[in-house]
Structure 1
Amino acid sequence: MKDTRSASQIIYGFLPEQTIDLKGGIWKVREWRAPRRLSEVDSGALKSEILRQARGWETAQTDYYRFLNKLRTGIAEVEPYQIDEANGVLLDAFPKQWICKGCNLVYLTPDAICPCNSRTKGQLPFVAYHDCGEIREVSIERCPTHGEVRLEFAKSASIADLRFKCPKCNWSRQGLPFMKCSCGAPMKFNVHRAAVVYTPRSVVLVNPPLSEARRRLENAGGSARALTWFFGGMKEKSALETAETQSSLASDLLTRGMPPEVVERVVAASGLPVGETAIPELPIDLRAECESQAMKLALATLDSRLRTEDLAAAIAADHELSVQYRAKYPEAMQSAGLASIELIERFPIFTGHYGYTRGDHDPSKSTLRPFRHHDRSRRNVFPVYGDLAQTEALLVRLNPQRVAEWLRLKGHDIHAATSTESTYAAILVAAADAASGESVRSDILHLVHSYSHRFIRTVAIYAGIDRNALSELVLDSMLSFVVYAVPRGDFVLGGLHAVFERELDTLLAEVVHGEHRCPLDPGCSKGKSACMACLHLGEPSCRLFNTHLSRKALFGAGGYFSLLPNPRSARSAAGANT
């Protein structure tokens, strides 16, 4: 059977071992046929990002083939691939159990002749699966006397209420029979498209083309230099323009593994200026996370970065947009609790999938199954299936001083500071605290992620596009997120650019003051205060599977937007803008 789907659909919905609905049947993807190797993607950076994102499975030792340990020790490597549209993907019918749509008799072949003379058959939509990653067709008992069975669908949604009967005698069974997985544990049952049956594990890599500027950044300290640049407020056009200081030198040398006492002597003899607020000493994992996210920002803005102040500087004082750029945009960002919004016209993004899990999302309770080559001679080379593109994006950075104030409302001890840099340092110190740091980091993630979803749902309206054509990159340690057009998605290039140049103030007014109640309230607000009707996004858009979300982080007495400098005047200005 042949059929046609867009490349974006294949990237997200036609991954190896994934089951799909297609042309009235149910299929399982066997493989991508002769995919194109993406030599442009930095495999070393890709491997590091996979190790960072999947460390939960490595810690729990629940990664199949000891995949992550092999990557870390250099035994195995990863290779990024893109779909070859000429070859597509290879599918197998699964499960191989068919039901007559006339009388509900169950058959093992689609061409079996049914006594009711109906020629239409559909597949049984249920599968058996286990957290170890195994999936099978469900076992269906047949009448021991007549060898036949008819399925009677229950009026409830529970699989346990399904009834199987013999059409010729009184033999019957209720529910699906017990099945044991290869690992010895009992298997679970669900419809094949349920999220617990197959969850792709993805990685997002900011991957600009290899250039002289990128080489210079990597040689000049890389992620440590990027963190210093971010810590200083990203005042320079790129991380490469950051002036070397004693603080940045010390940060770089410590990252390279030099002993602290040696670093102190080298820095003292360097003759460099002291610099602004020093980056606080952080636990290794948190420091690595901060540097990784700062490096993403540095790479993303290396070749393309347009700030609101650049818009103002490019026009005369008497231009029709002068007041909007010089007054309304800054006021709107202050009201929205943002430090800045920037346009990245060429956002270089690789979105890939390195494996999947079944069952529980907790790494200690599920097994990470990496994708593998069918060629056994390449058993230590693991493919990552995805897409590489340059697209447009908006970089949104929250105001650290407003975030610190919000965290204090949440009960966290954040030391007061006067400058943006010292406030961000105080937040990091709180996030590094052994007793309360995990709670601080969780609250920050909820805030940044909820803000990102609220922003995406709003900007999609202003850009006039389907919000599923937008995706996010959450950089919670940087108090930032990136909203970008999904590569190969249903998106008109230039939509974000137009909003950035013309409607940023009204967009932010809508984010802050627009309708924030949920159609499913009060039920939604009594739960997590986030659902498909208010904050959730589609799978291609949200990298965190719609977790760590709550409208309470943004709205209400303890919400981020309750900290407006002057809510009444800000709301009046929003009304005047619209």
Structure 2
Amino acid sequence: MRETRSPSQVLFSHLPAQTTDIKSRIWKVQSWLNPLTLRVDTDGVRQRLLSAIDPWRSHGNDNGLANQLHQGKTVEVVGVNPEQGVKVDAWPNVWRCQSCRRVTNFKGRCVCGNKTWVQLHFVGFHECGYLGEPFIPKCPEHSQVFVKHSSSSSVRDLEFACPICHRALQRGLGAGRPCPGCKQPGLTFNVHRAASVYTPHTFTMVNPARPEHLQALLADGGREKSLRWVLSEMQTGRPEKLAPTRQSMIDSFVQQGLPLAAAEAAVQSAIDAGAGHLDKPVDVLDISPLRREEAEATALEVALATYEGRRTASQLPGDPVGANLRAIYEDKYVPAVLRAGLIDVDHVDRFPILRGVFGYTRGGKPVGESRLVAYQGRQQSIRVYADTNETEALYLRLDPLRVAAWLHRRGLLKEAPTDPTKARIAIINAAEFPGRGDDVAVPTAGSAVLSLLHTYAHRFIRQLAVLAGVDRESLAEYLVPHHLGVFIYATPRGQFVLGGLQSVFETDLDRLLDLQVDAETRCPLDPGCDRSTGACLACLHVGEPSCSHYNKFLDRKTLFGSNGYLRKELS
């Protein structure tokens, strides 16, 4: 039997050890047949994986995956082979007669004469990764069993008895027994499609659709030049258009294979010959060495994400437009951007994103509290099932002066610089961003910036979904906290029509940003929500994989509290 599914459906609904419904039957995915190896930045994938599994590592539930990644174990990223697809088997092999409700492990003619059978849709599972068929005892005298109340989806309602002597045989399915896989207690039973049976876990990363984009950036000053570009408010289209510096020229020569000493000598010769602009001080040297590597890596991500071009709200209109739109751009867009605490908003129509699934959990516990089961590939490698797409995105850039002032008022930044570049550098130096699994008892500059940016992104997704009339799960975030930025992009697997973000950007951006500031700030579950975390399903949470931080580091008070970033009297 062959069925057709889109790559996105396969990625999220047909993963190894997952069950799925196809044509009124239940099937278990065995494997992806000869999956395709995707061209990715493997170092970037490794770093993104380490970040993604941090909640499990911090709880000791990552099954040693973090250590394997640090030790250099091979990581392979694969996509579905459209020619061969996915192998599935009919499972579980437990059938119920539709006429008399007898339960058996084989199909044929039932003793009642009926030939129509349906699968019992319950399975047993354990957090170690075990998945098994339920064991249902038969009458010791008549070797038969039937189920009462077969329409219930609750395991507790299941009663099994002998259809001949009506002897009661079992209630439920024996939850709490030792797991046949690891011999530990805690075997659980549920409907096969319940989230507690199989929860896949994902990560996203910027992945250039064409590797030559990354090579071009690295060959022309690379990370250091990308960092200077972001610090200068991305004033040129790409980092490569910035004037070269001494360090960027040295990096360029090293990338071309020249030894470091020879590269330094060549650049010095150029300076001595009159290329004095190469010897200007590089402002990124003001960044602490402890912070600079991450700042450069994330700046390179921004450069890759916008490599194919972007349009900036403050520079509209770029093309001839009608008088009404021109008036909106000139009179409303820039004031709305500034009022919303942003330095600018960019529209990226070819945002290159990789979405990967690195493992799953069973048990339905919060992220990090169940054992993570990672996928294995060829020769025991760490496997990531993924797809790559180019979608559209809005890049929101928080105002560095306003963020610095906000941190200073909270006592988390010694001083608030009045120069945007110096403000960005001060924030980078002060902010050590917590891992995804960290619990921060006392706010730091890093946790405050992350909470601010993350909360801002979730509120923006909710307002955008309302304005555009789409499901919020069709939108997702990609945070760049080192540079006070976040990409809000249309997920290829969602219902958001490509071009929808462009339409909002070109006609309704001012309305959207006004909603971000003026829309209801209270939660339906206040005062309870406000007194606890300040974020819940009713006000700020979004689903995975739309959220990149598992709905942690969220708090409405960062935006609208007594010292909130968007408080009107503080603007």
Question: How many angstroms does 1:451 deviate by?
Answer: 1.9
Pairing of 1:46-57 with structure 2 (within 5 A): 46-54=45-53
Code of the residue aligned with 1:46 in structure 2: it is V
Distance 2:534 2:116 in 1: 48
Structure 1 residue aligned with 2:359, among 347, 355, 361?
355
SS in 2 for 1:554: helix
For residues 223-280 of structure 1, the C-alpha deviation after alignment (integer angstroms, 9 at most, x for no partner) is 3332232223222221222334578789999x9x999xx9xxx9x9996222447543
Aligned to 1:571: none
For residues 527-549 of structure 1, the C-alpha deviation after alignment (integer angstroms, 9 at most, x for no partner) is 54444443333444333344443
Distance 2:388 2:316 in 1: 29
**Structure 1 position 339 matched with structure 2 position 334:** no
Question: How many angstroms does 1:211 deviate by?
Answer: 6.5
Pairing of 1:399-438 with structure 2 (within 5 A): 399-407=399-407, 412-432=412-432
For residues 90-140 of structure 1, the C-alpha deviation after alignment (integer angstroms, 9 at most, x for no partner) is 22233333445666654334557275969453423343222x333333444
Task: Check conservation: 1:101, 1:122, Cα contact below 8 A.
Answer: no
RMSD of aligned alpha carbons? 4.3
Distance 1:118 1:505 in 2: 64
Q: TM-score, normalised by structure 2?
A: 0.80
Aligned to 1:127: 124
Distance 1:33 1:73 in 2: 29
SS in 2 for 1:496: helix
Aligned to 2:38: 38
Judging changes above 3 Å, is the alpha-carbon distance between structure 1 residues 155 and 486 closer, same or farther for their aligned structure 2 residues?
A: closer
Task: Check conservation: 1:38, 1:81, Cα contact below 8 A.
Answer: yes
Task: Check conservation: 1:395, 1:481, Cα contact below 8 A.
Answer: yes
Pairing of 1:532-571 with structure 2 (within 5 A): 532-563=537-568
Task: Check conservation: 1:351, 1:388, Cα contact below 8 A.
Answer: yes
Aligned to 1:88: 85
Judging changes above 3 Å, is the alpha-carbon distance between structure 1 residues 77 and 545 closer, same or farther for their aligned structure 2 residues?
A: closer
SS in 2 for 1:226: helix
Pairing of 1:298-447 with structure 2 (within 5 A): 298-312=303-317, 319-359=323-363, 366-372=371-377, 378-407=378-407, 412-432=412-432, 439-447=444-452
Distance 2:220 2:58 in 1: 32
Task: Check conservation: 1:226, 1:239, Cα contact below 8 A.
Answer: yes
Task: Check conservation: 1:99, 1:105, Cα contact below 8 A.
Answer: yes
Distance 1:358 1:163 in 2: 22
Distance 2:533 2:24 in 1: 36
For residues 292-345 of structure 1, the C-alpha deviation after alignment (integer angstroms, 9 at most, x for no partner) is 3222111011221111233146569x9543442233111111111112110112
Pairing of 1:497-576 with structure 2 (within 5 A): 497-521=502-526, 524-525=529-530, 527-563=532-568
SS in 2 for 1:321: helix
Aligned to 1:481: 486
Judging changes above 3 Å, is the alpha-carbon distance between structure 1 residues 79 and 467 closer, same or farther for their aligned structure 2 residues?
A: same
Aligned to 2:437: none
Distance 1:113 1:58 in 2: 51
> 23-32 vs 73-82, which deviates more?
73-82
Aligned to 2:11: 11
Aligned to 2:476: 471
Task: Check conservation: 1:350, 1:386, Cα contact below 8 A.
Answer: yes
Q: Which runs of 5+ in 1 are unaligned?
A: 373-377, 567-578
Task: Check conservation: 2:295, 2:428, Cα contact below 8 A.
Answer: no
Aligned to 1:76: 74
Judging changes above 3 Å, is the alpha-carbon distance between structure 1 residues 2 and 45 closer, same or farther for their aligned structure 2 residues?
A: same
Task: Check conservation: 1:105, 1:149, Cα contact below 8 A.
Answer: yes
For residues 165-205 of structure 1, the C-alpha deviation after alignment (integer angstroms, 9 at most, x for no partner) is 42412454465251235334223425333444333232323
Judging changes above 3 Å, is the alpha-carbon distance between structure 1 residues 353 and 258 closer, same or farther for their aligned structure 2 residues?
A: farther
Task: Check conservation: 2:93, 2:119, Cα contact below 8 A.
Answer: no
Distance 1:207 1:239 in 2: 17
Judging changes above 3 Å, is the alpha-carbon distance between structure 1 residues 182 and 509 closer, same or farther for their aligned structure 2 residues?
A: same
Q: TM-score, normalised by structure 1?
A: 0.80
Aligned to 2:465: 460
Judging changes above 3 Å, is the alpha-carbon distance between structure 1 residues 141 and 410 closer, same or farther for their aligned structure 2 residues?
A: farther
Code of the residue aligned with 1:329 in structure 2: it is Y
**Structure 1 position 183 matched with structure 2 position 182:** yes
Question: How many angstroms does 1:482 deviate by?
Answer: 0.8
Aligned to 1:205: 205
Code of the residue aligned with 1:133 in structure 2: it is G
Distance 2:108 2:318 in 1: 71
Question: How many angstroms does 1:158 deviate by?
Answer: 7.7
Question: How many angstroms does 1:145 deviate by?
Answer: 4.7
Judging changes above 3 Å, is the alpha-carbon distance between structure 1 residues 319 and 290 closer, same or farther for their aligned structure 2 residues?
A: same
For residues 332-391 of structure 1, the C-alpha deviation after alignment (integer angstroms, 9 at most, x for no partner) is 11111112110112212222223333345665862341242xxxxx31555432222222
SS in 2 for 1:482: strand
Code of the residue aligned with 2:339 in structure 1: it is S
**Structure 1 position 281 matched with structure 2 position 279:** no
